[in-house]
Copies of this chain bind each other. A is one copy, B any other.
Amino acid sequence: MQDFSVIGKRMPRVDALAKVTGEAKYAADYEMPGMLWCKIVRSPHAHAKILNIDTSRAERLPGVKDVLTGKDFKGWKWGWMPKTREEEPLAAERVRYLGEAVAAVAAVDEDTAEQAAQLIQVEYEPLPGVFDPEKAMEEGAPQLYDHVKNNVSWDFHMDFGDIEKGFREADLVHEDRFVTGRVITGYLEPPAAVAMYDSSGITIWAAKQSPYFVYRHLAACFNLPLNKVRVIQPFIGGGFGGTKNDSLAGDFCSVLFSKRTGKPVKFVYTMEEVLMTCRRRHNMIVYNKMGMKKDGTITAMHSRVIADGGAHTAIGPLTMYLSGSMSTLPYKLPNFKHDAYRIYTNNPIGAAMRGHGVTHTRFAAELQMEMMAEQLGIDPVAVRLKNAITAPHETVNKVTVKSCGLVEGIQTLAASDSWKNRDQRKGSGPVVHGTGMSATSYLGGARQRGHQSCAAVLRLCEDGTIDYLTGATDCGQGSDTVLCQIVAEELGVGMEDVDIKRVDTAVTPCDAGSYGSRVTVLAGEAARRAAVDIKDQLARFAAREWEANPEDIVFKNRMVSVAGSPEKTMPFEQLAKIACYSGSGAVIIGKGYSDYGIDVLDFEKGIGNCGTSYSFTSQLTEVDVDLETGFIRCTDMVIAHDCGRPLNPVNVEAQNQGAAIQGMGQALYEEFRMDQGRTLNPNLADYKMPLAPDIPRIEVIDILTDDPSGPFGAKEASEGAIVSTPPSVFTAVRHATGIWFKEQPLTPEKVVMALRNRKQ
């Protein structure tokens, strides 16, 4: 094993001090002289034509500086793909979900803006709405877009092997319907920004996990070259996909207000706006059909997925792609068919969220596999080991796995006392104890074709310290810390010598952002390469000092030396000074980018890798189920996670814990209650996310594999456990109650009803 200095150590976060002291500035903290406040006016109808907007009363309110309606954007629309550009900053003629933005006001302060927003009178002609994706697919259902038949926003199909032959070879075939949750990300910081438009172009301080997305959208909307759009990244109070991955009405309106008024313009969404109108996870209906031999071998799977897409397409095509392309992991699957339909409804927009696309289908397949194994009398561990892949592996759709700790993870959990004694610990009520298992996989280092690389620029200061520029965003996951570790390790300097700068699209290199568990894998590899570039440059100076070969220069523990010549050694700082003061001064700048290339990737057919590597998560969850109240409490979780090499184990632990808690919320508590497109619980009291007393003991076991593609062998460690948690909770509840539940969330009502039905 390599002898690491900072890699693999439990390093404290580089942003900890700024955050705990309150120094860290978030977008909402920015105040500028003359700044205006922007408020958005939203539709109270889920589906309606806009007949007229009367802004005159708002305009007359003292303190109001400007008012915008959809017409001011002149028909400009954005979307994830050229053919899905259908979302307007402000809807001009028609609203398709309750809460869609229709107008905006800018005023001298927040209260005035709020008051003015209420004075804007919009005349609507309500249209019939459709809120259930299965009903929306039916002939005669209300149509959201005139040119789209049956409200199919996006469909995606895969067909590999011989699905019929696979089912014929099976001894048991199951078909089941699973339903996954209508949930949202739980960031504490709502979307916010301060925008400025002047002769230098746009500057916006915006809470974005992918600043370069809004950078492109603003350039397109305002018809500016990209180097005239500057998205500056304050600290981010959580992201998790969805809202902060995309542009919002507030972004476009605040910029346009600034352009028209010459003032900086700020917006901060309320938590009600977030919960009513922002992007959320697609809730899906998964019809899963699986074939299994008597020995537990899976022979075929056909999944039919119907996703509630809400009013616009957004990033939905990628969700659909992931729902299928990742279904061929973590188990051997020779025959696979997948039909995914993303359906427009008059609900808020379905989009990305941690565990993007995979949580749904993995939940279905994982439960179904264990249901069938149970029917065939096969142990939950045995059926998993029977089908588990090992590395190297290529799936039927050409996903290539280079490292895999799945078997070791399952075996580790299976060897635990918790698992071995699970039946003894069950008890007889009224509170029964259950233990469940799951095994899943998630991609890391997501990349498609396109400008998707990460890059790093490192500047060596003459005192040997390093300025590190990256476009990768730390939205709370701790990636800044891991990235600094990578730079420090490769350069052989201390963590405290590396200072990572906040993202600023004008100066930091282009980066696709924080999603798809890509920062450690891709931005990390870019950083490592930039550090190697610095070393290559410095080694030439060192070699000249010592008349040695540049290849023999070693960087370690803030010292530089010639391999095998212990007398030829000097502090790193000294070499930095020698280089920077050589001649009239060398300027040492290192750069690197994550150019892995794309071997095979067919987005239309679901072939190939859209990840750089794949993590494997095995999870054991224990629950207490109160048979009288139906209340479920998770008591323990053990997560055996293969993230390649854990670069910062405390961070890996925290990421897995956070993902598991979020997954537990989805499995047990969280659910938007909807009525005709209206969110009935748009506040954190009624939309129940897990609170501190709900958190079980969570143990994270690192299954070390050393992936050849990641920096220092790292893979992803931020999304795996949100995929593994729901099925492990459901198998635990099955163990406790004997009932297979197939719908999220597993509320007390559902448990009580099911127990009552069973008794009858």
Chain A residues near B (Cβ < 8 Å): 17-18, 21, 23, 31, 33, 198-201, 219, 225-228, 447-455, 457, 459, 461-463, 465-467, 469, 496-499, 501, 504, 506-510, 512, 526, 580-581, 583-587, 589, 591, 593-598
Contact B587 A465 (CB under 8 A): no
Chain B residues near A450 (CB, 8 Å)?
A: 581, 584-585
Chain B residues near A593 (CB, 8 Å)?
A: 585-587
Instruction: State A225–B469 Cα separation when bound (angstroms).
Output: 17
Chain B residues near A447 (CB, 8 Å)?
A: 584-585
Chain B residues near A452 (CB, 8 Å)?
A: 584-585
Copies of this chain, complex-wide, total: 2
Instruction: State A453–B462 Cα separation when bound (angstroms).
Output: 12
- Residue in contact with A226 in the complex, picked from B18, B33, B462, CB distance below 8 Å: B462
Chain B residues near A583 (CB, 8 Å)?
A: 449, 595-598
* Nearest chain B residue, comparing its CB with the CB of A499: B227
Cβ of A174 to closest chain B Cβ, rounded Å: 38
Cβ of A408 to closest chain B Cβ, rounded Å: 30
Contact A219 B463 (CB under 8 A): yes
Chain B residues near A463 (CB, 8 Å)?
A: 219, 225-226
Instruction: State A201–B461 Cα separation when bound (angstroms).
Output: 15
Instruction: State A449–B462 Cα separation when bound (angstroms).
Output: 14
Contact A584 B225 (CB under 8 A): no
Contact B507 A581 (CB under 8 A): no
Contact A467 B31 (CB under 8 A): no
Cβ of A220 to closest chain B Cβ, rounded Å: 10
* Nearest chain B residue, comparing its CB with the CB of A594: B584
Q: A226-B465, A459-B510, A462-B226 are in contact. Are A448 and B584 (CB under 8 A)?
A: yes
Contact A459 B509 (CB under 8 A): yes
Chain B residues near A586 (CB, 8 Å)?
A: 453, 593, 595
Chain B residues near A598 (CB, 8 Å)?
A: 583-584
Instruction: State A459–B509 Cα separation when bound (angstroms).
Output: 7
Instruction: State A469–B595 Cα separation when bound (angstroms).
Output: 23
Q: Tell which of A447, A459, A498 has the most Cβ of chain B within 10 Å.
A: A459
Instruction: State A448–B584 Cα separation when bound (angstroms).
Output: 6
- Residue in contact with A200 in the complex, picked from B18, B455, B580, CB distance below 8 Å: B18
Q: Tell which of A449, A498, A585 has the most Cβ of chain B within 10 Å.
A: A585
Chain B residues near A589 (CB, 8 Å)?
A: 455, 457, 509, 591
* Nearest chain B residue, comparing its CB with the CB of A445: B584
Cβ of A43 to closest chain B Cβ, rounded Å: 34
Chain B residues near A585 (CB, 8 Å)?
A: 447, 450-453, 510, 512, 593, 595
Contact A462 B199 (CB under 8 A): no
Instruction: State A450–B582 Cα separation when bound (angstroms).
Output: 7
Contact A199 B21 (CB under 8 A): yes
Chain B residues near A200 (CB, 8 Å)?
A: 18, 23, 499
Contact A461 B199 (CB under 8 A): no
Cβ of A210 to closest chain B Cβ, rounded Å: 14
Chain B residues near A596 (CB, 8 Å)?
A: 583-584
Instruction: State A597–B459 Cα separation when bound (angstroms).
Output: 20
Chain B residues near A466 (CB, 8 Å)?
A: 227
Q: Tell which of A227, A462, A466, A595 has the most Cβ of chain B within 10 Å.
A: A227
Contact B31 A451 (CB under 8 A): no
Chain B residues near A226 (CB, 8 Å)?
A: 461-463, 465
Q: A23-B198, A225-B463, A461-B510 are in contact. Are A595 and B584 (CB under 8 A)?
A: yes
Chain B residues near A225 (CB, 8 Å)?
A: 461, 463, 465, 496-497, 499
Cβ of A497 to closest chain B Cβ, rounded Å: 7
Cβ of A137 to closest chain B Cβ, rounded Å: 35
Contact B587 A509 (CB under 8 A): yes
> With contacts A226-B461, A450-B585 known, what are 15 further pairs, Cβ within 8 A?
A200-B499, A201-B499, A226-B463, A227-B498, A447-B584, A451-B585, A459-B509, A459-B510, A507-B508, A510-B585, A583-B598, A584-B597, A587-B591, A589-B591, A591-B591
